[in-house]
Amino acid sequence: MGQEITQGRFSTEDFLCFGERLERETRLLESWLLEGCFERGHHLGGVELEAWLVDGEAAPAPLNQACIERIGDPLVVPELARFNLELNSQPRALCGGVLSHLADELAATWNKCDLLAREQGARMAMIGILPTVTQADLCLDNMSPLRRYHALDEQLFKLRGGEAVELDIVGRERLRLRHPDVMLEAATTSLQIHLRVNPDQVVRYYNASKILAAPLVALSANSPYLFGCDLWDETRVPLFEQAVAVGGDALTRRVTFGVRYLRRSVMELFQANLDRYPVLLPRLLGQADGRLAHLCLHNGTIWRWNRPLVGFSDQGVPHLRIEHRVLPAGPSLEDCVANAALYFGLVFSLANAPEPPETQLPHIAAAGNFYRAARHGLAARVTWLDGCSGALGRLCAERLLPMAMAGLVSMGVDPAEAAHWLGIVRERLRRRQTGALWQRRWVARHGRDMRGLTLAYLERQERGGPVHQWGV
């Protein structure tokens, strides 16, 4: 979805031609996988951090175009709404002091963006759902002026049969409403973690990423409020799933945990893309099949919580990445890097375990764990690999943190580096304070003042320090 298109309206011929190109590129990908054409080497990692722009009243500030033009950095790009930005890191080998280098890079980019935002009378915020966002803010006038976003909204509208989006989230409270367009999705901002893996390992890493979605979303939860309602610890999950829903079929949901693990090949997902998902953006791209441009564009309109990606080196050699999409943005840059460290360490340990973890935990249990963790956070009761069940917070403290430490060191990350970043997660667990729990504690003390909550959150975010150090 990072690819811009040059038209917003499509004909029947456009869909037919795009479908033909998509079929050819899918078969080409299949042959590359069979012939071993993919790049191999040390694991590389990186992140995408989505951010809000807010004004002096802590409300969304639709100023991303002015900021992006002044920044002039290809790693800073627009998001769906004019009040969102996306900051990207460079891919790095996961060894040595990689996590601190990632933190320094993100901080430098963040500070540059924040300085320019302040020149426009705004400031940057990293939080899953901005407490002050209103339904009125999520309108087409606030959509970023890119054709792909307007075309996406039009195609989703058609697939819904011209009906409005029906939102119904049951959490601590219930929120029900109708919304006319895709802009509900703009209320969700995330930290997306990318991991390049070797082709013969991608099945194990992908399945491990699914299993880990539950502890990762609980430990990082930072989105308890939407339009003043107290919902899930990570309300982004049901909001995003429902914001782009086009039908009730579990096999064709555009935002999905999926219905099973991979069995033999990542090709199973790309074949499902071809067979089950209607094309949304049938823009013919003037690139040879060898760049898989149409396959990648189509894949970018299917938002699995763990998504396979195909990329290319500067020399045109393809590689495979897993995009882990379950984490919200924030609460601090330190928390974001600590969350990435936890994912990298855990996925390495699970994917390289002697017995594949997917043989020990049925997919339906992994999916149930994920949705309970998103709803209840660290208090969620989950089933783990050996069939035991219990509170997720205890599982993380007793079993997953040591596993993450072992995984990072095995990858080649400096032990002191690994201990520092995982120590942030350890303290978060010890003090039982995720971003979601901090927001609820603030409200319990000061009342349900969404502006006051957001300003207090921003004050602590700008002061520095991870969320476990924040007072209310």
Domain ranges of the chain: 12-466
The Cα–Cα gap between 430 and 389 comes to 20
Helix (H, G, I), strand (E, B) or coil at 385: coil
* Dihedral of alpha carbons 449, 455, 460, 464, sign: positive
| H or E stretch at 45 | strand 44-54
pTM given for the model: 0.96
Structure tokens at 252: 């064709």
pLDDT score of 1 = 41
Q: Which of 368, 356, 336, 444 is nearest to 87 (CA)?
A: 336
C-alpha separations of 101 from 92, 94, 341 in Å: 9, 11, 12
- CA-based torsion, 4, 5, 9, 13: positive or negative: negative
Structure tokens at 81: 């709404």
Q: H helices within 89-201, ranges in order? A: 98-119, 147-159
Region class of 72: left (phi > 0), else alpha (psi between -120 and 50), else beta: left
What local confidence, expressed as pLDDT, does residue 419 receive?
98
Residue count of the chain:
472
The CA-based angle 75-80-83, given to 5 degrees, is: 80
Give the bridge partners for 179, in sequence order. 165
Peptide bond just before 331 cis, omega within 30 deg = yes
What pLDDT does residue 9 have? 73
Q: What CA–CA distances, in Å, run from 64 to 114, 127, 305? A: 11, 17, 26
**Angstrom distance (rounded) from CA 372 to CA 355:** 26
Phi, psi for residue 461 in degrees, rounded to 5: -60, -45
Distance spanning both ends of the chain, measured CA to CA: 39
- Low pLDDT (below 50) residues in the chain: 1-2, 4-5
Question: CB–CB of 31/84 below 8 Å?
Answer: no
Q: What is the DSSP letter of 141?
A: G
Q: What is the mean pLDDT of the chain?
A: 95
* CA–CA separation, 270 and 294 (whole Å): 12
Q: Which fold has domain 12-466?
A: Creatine Kinase; Chain A, domain 2 (3.30.590)
Q: What is the pLDDT of residue 387?
A: 84
